[in-house]
């Protein structure tokens, strides 16, 4: 054990070097070793997310939080094979056109815009006041292998974000992928499943961040 004067010196040397802001995110991963996708894994992911609620901030209303989300495989039973899905939070009606144009610039199109069913009453008052319209853009597969397709989707998302920022169009794209789909919002993790109905029908591995590092400035 070092002498007391050594400890005092160590503490003194460390003063002022600690960051004033610290993240306290929690994250859980659930997967199956079998070849078949199963909803049981997603259900366990939802349960894990609820049990990580103590790692995120919670408003006095008991519902509004600083962000919770669930990442799952694209549910093929809902969207079909050979499709990617972009999740779009839309506060400005120009947002969909910006995303569609970015996808077109990378050789992809939008076959359908699916309005995501939600239950706003599951949100706290603060999040509900600024809640966006949430869309799933269903994107057919281009003539490209999986790796190139995923790369195109990423570049299209980044282009849409840059164009929107330059045009002062408020949007947020939680995910744009042929592999994974993200559900997230400004609520406690215990309320995510009730807000979004789709995860209850989804299958596949799940990842549950209690406080996602990338999220909109407000709204779910």
pLDDT in tens, 68-115: 788 889 998 889 999 999 999 999 999 999 999 999 999 999 999 999
- 23-45 residue pLDDT tens: 556 778 888 887 777 788 888 88
Region 177-199 average pLDDT:
74
Top pLDDT among 46 and 96 is at 96
- Whether the per-residue pLDDT at 2 is higher than 70: the answer is no
What structural domains does the chain harbor? 27-209 (3.60.20.10)
- pTM here? 0.75
Least Cα distance to 75 among 149, 1, 182, 161 occurs for 182
The neighbour count for residue 203, using CB atoms within 10 Å, is 21
Active site residues: 25
- Whether the per-residue pLDDT at 54 is higher than 80: the answer is no
List Cβ neighbours of 175 (8 Å cut-off, separation of 6 or more). 71, 85, 86, 87, 181, 182
Top pLDDT among 202 and 111 is at 111
| CB-CB contact of 208 with 43 (8 Å) | no
Region 165-178 average pLDDT:
97
């Amino acid at each position: 054990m070092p002498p007391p004067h050594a400890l005092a010196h160590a503490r003194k040397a460390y003063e002022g070097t600690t960051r004033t802001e610290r993240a306290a995110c929690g994250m859980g991963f659930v997967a199956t070793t079998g070849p078949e996708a199963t909803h049981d894994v997603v259900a366990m992911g939802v349960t894990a997310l609820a049990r990580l609620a103590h790692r995120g901030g919670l408003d006095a209303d008991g519902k509004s939080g600083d962000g919770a989300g669930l990442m799952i495989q694209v549910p093929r039973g809902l969207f079909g094979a050979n499709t990617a899905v972009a999740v779009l939070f839309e506060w400005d009606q120009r947002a969909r056109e910006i995303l569609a144009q970015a996808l077109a610039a990378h050789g992809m199109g939008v076959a359908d815009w699916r309005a995501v069913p939600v239950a706003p009453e599951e949100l706290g008052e603060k999040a509900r006041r600024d809640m966006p319209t949430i869309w799933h853009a269903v994107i057919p597969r281009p003539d490209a292998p999986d790796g190139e397709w995923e790369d195109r989707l990423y570049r299209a998302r980044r282009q849409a974000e840059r164009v929107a920022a330059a045009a002062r169009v408020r949007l947020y794209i939680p995910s744009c992928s042929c592999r994974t789909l993200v559900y997230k919002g400004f609520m406690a993790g215990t309320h995510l499943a009730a807000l979004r109905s789709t995860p209850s029908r989804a299958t596949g591995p799940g990842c549950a961040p209690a406080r996602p590092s990338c999220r909109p400035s407000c709204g779910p």
